[in-house]
């Protein structure tokens, strides 16, 4: 939970450093730019999610060689994809701004932020892979150390670039990119120590045939393809949400971005239990242990529900003070305070969807994740369009309902998974190389 709670602090720091300058256009620009970066970078979030489930299953099956080979495969894939993003940044940036609304001043600030963030793309995607591998092994303290280091560097760099050099949104982007490269260097050291002997020793003792094993690569891409489609569908929800605020004006866009920090905090904290479920479910299926599977799901769900209630109460009690700390603009503060109750409901509304995500990711049921996310996104878009006449109220009703739509759509696949666990076919699915994930 501590490691997960520290992840959204990157976004909170970015918003606060620029928000306390009183520059509404700058804050709105960071909001729009962050949405674009999230859409592009997290399109490859399978590097975290897919690697977690596969690593946990390999560990549960006692296959140490595959555990280490997974790390190296994921690192090569993450760094290569990050380089591709860096090279293709101009068309990606232009396409994103063609899709997302924003005034001239907001778009200028957002463009400066996005350009700076692209510099960290290879590091950011590689860190996704390292985090996924560490979480798959249950090395949560190591993941926490990595995230804390990244946050410390990000805070210091943001303050220096924005408050000392007056670089605005561009400085926020540069600070975060620098933090991502620092996290990659530290992550390689941490992963090497967890594997034993350091990262270079891990590379040396892992046969090239294991890294390039065709069956393992096919399985990695089969699972990752479906998770990528699932991630793109869910990113469409939050991109649409940000664009809905941008259509209403800089005040609404900035206020919604401030409230999104509450939602990100809730999502990452409660995802700690989902990640625990991923690791435990993957271990249970790899070891063919039905009792461990059921106990893991029950305990993770109970703790997640209790934490969701606590977070909702904290948001209601302290949210006003946090809003005032992040932004100094009176209009942004008032708009954010108006819709704070919606943000406070998200820990309760989102908990079932995040927990189900963890269960299905750990079981590497990519087709269920893919289909449920596409269905939920389609229903959300229809609801948002129907409520467009309600202004920002309609925007918040739709995004709140999206969590229930996600949980309901994924819940349709839960009985089948439980039957597979009961019969033992979930383990046979692993033996067959994840063919089901490619359906």
Query: pLDDT-based confidence at 313, cuts 50/70/90?
Result: very high
Q: How far are the Cα atoms of 236, 242, 248, 250 from residue 43, in angstroms, in the given order?
A: 10, 17, 26, 26
Q: What is the DSSP string of 22-66?
A: T-HHHHHHHHHHHHHHHHHHGGGTHHHHHHHHHHHHHHHTT-HHH
Question: What is the rounded radius of gyration, in angstroms, for the C-alpha atoms of the chain?
Answer: 21
| % of residues, the chain, pLDDT over 70 | 91
Q: Which residue reads 């664009």 in tokens?
A: 243
Identify the pLDDT of residue 424: 63
Q: At residue 437, does pLDDT exceed 50?
A: no
Identify the pLDDT of residue 167: 87
Q: At residue 26, does pLDDT exceed 70?
A: yes
Q: How many domains does the chain have?
A: 1
Phi, psi dihedral angles at 20 (to 5 degrees): -80, -5
Q: 294 vs 83, which has greater pLDDT?
A: 83
Identify the pLDDT of residue 348: 94
**What is d(CA 370, CA 389) in angstroms, rounded to the nearest whole number?**
31
Provide mean pLDDT across the span 183-190: 96
pLDDT in tens, 162-185: 888 888 889 989 999 999 999 999
Query: pLDDT-based confidence at 22, cuts 50/70/90?
Result: low
pLDDT in tens, 32-42: 888 888 888 88
Task: Retrieve residue 422's tokens.
Answer: 């009961």
Q: At residue 429, does pLDDT exceed 60?
A: no
Q: What's the sign of the alpha-carbon dihedral 401, 405, 406, 407? A: positive
pLDDT in tens, 93-105: 888 888 776 666 6
Nearest to 258 by CA among 319, 172, 173: 319
Identify the pLDDT of residue 294: 85
Query: pLDDT-based confidence at 329, cuts 50/70/90?
Result: confident
Half-sphere exposure of 283 (CA within 13 A, CB side): 17
| Domain encompassing residue 167 | 2-438
pLDDT in tens, 346-357: 999 999 998 898
**What is d(CA 293, CA 298) in angstroms, rounded to the nearest whole number?**
9
pLDDT in tens, 190-241: 999 999 889 999 999 988 887 777 777 777 776 677 777 888 888 889 888 8
Region at 63 (left for phi over 0; alpha for psi -120 to 50; beta for the rest): beta
Q: How far are the Cα atoms of 49, 300, 330 from residue 294, in angstroms, in the given order?
A: 21, 10, 50
pLDDT in tens, 114-165: 999 999 999 999 999 999 899 888 888 898 889 889 888 988 998 899 888 8
Identify the pLDDT of residue 8: 65
Query: pLDDT-based confidence at 428, cuts 50/70/90?
Result: very low
pLDDT in tens, 253-283: 888 988 988 998 888 788 888 878 877 887 7
- Mean pLDDT of all residues in the chain? 84
């Amino acid at each position: 939970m501590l490691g997960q709670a520290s992840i959204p602090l990157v976004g909170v720091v970015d918003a606060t450093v620029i928000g306390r300058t009183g520059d509404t256009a700058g804050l709105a620009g960071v909001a729009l730019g962050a949405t674009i970066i999230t859409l592009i970078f997290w399109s490859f979030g399978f590097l975290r999610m897919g690697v977690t489930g596969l690593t946990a299953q390999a560990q549960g099956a006692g296959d140490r060689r595959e555990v280490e080979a997974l790390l190296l495969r994921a690192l090569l894939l993450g760094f290569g994809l990050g380089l591709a993003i860096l090279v293709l940044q101009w068309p990606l940036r232009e396409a994103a701004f063609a899709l997302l609304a924003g005034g001239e001043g907001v778009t200028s600030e957002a463009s400066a932020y996005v350009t700076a963030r692209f510099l960290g793309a290879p590091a950011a995607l590689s860190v996704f892979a390292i985090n996924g591998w560490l979480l798959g092994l249950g090395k949560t303290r190591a993941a926490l150390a990595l995230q804390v280091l990244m946050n410390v560097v990000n805070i210091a760099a943001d303050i220096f670039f924005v408050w000392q050099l007056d670089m605005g949104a561009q400085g926020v982007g540069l600070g975060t990119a620098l933090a991502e490269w620092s996290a990659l260097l530290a992550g390689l050291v941490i992963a090497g120590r967890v594997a034993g002997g350091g990262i270079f020793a891990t590379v040396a003792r892992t046969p090239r045939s294991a890294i390039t094993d065709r069956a393992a690569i096919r399985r990695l891409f089969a699972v990752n393809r479906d998770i990528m489609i699932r991630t793109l569908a869910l990113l469409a929800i939050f991109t649409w949400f940000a664009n809905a605020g941008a259509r209403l004006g800089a005040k609404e866009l900035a206020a919604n971005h401030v409230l999104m920090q509450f939602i990100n905090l809730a999502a990452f904290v409660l995802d700690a239990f989902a990640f625990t479920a991923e690791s435990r479910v993957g271990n249970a299926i790899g070891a063919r242990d039905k009792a461990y599977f059921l106990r893991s799901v029950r305990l993770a769900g109970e703790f997640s529900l209790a934490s969701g209630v606590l977070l909702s109460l904290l948001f209601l009690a302290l949210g006003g003070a946090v809003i005032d700390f992040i932004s100094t603009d009176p209009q942004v503060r008032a708009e954010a305070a108006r819709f704070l109750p919606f943000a406070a409901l998200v820990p309760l509304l989102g908990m079932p969807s995040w927990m189900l995500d963890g269960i299905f990711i750990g079981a590497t049921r990519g087709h269920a994740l893919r289909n449920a996310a596409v269905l939920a996104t389609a229903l959300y878009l229809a609801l948002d369009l129907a409520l467009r006449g309600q202004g920002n109220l309609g925007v918040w009703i739709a995004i709140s309902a999206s969590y229930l739509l996600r949980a309901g759509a994924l819940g349709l696949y839960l009985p089948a998974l439980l039957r597979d666990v009961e019969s033992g076919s979930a383990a046979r699915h692993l033996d067959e190389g994840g063919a089901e994930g490619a359906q």
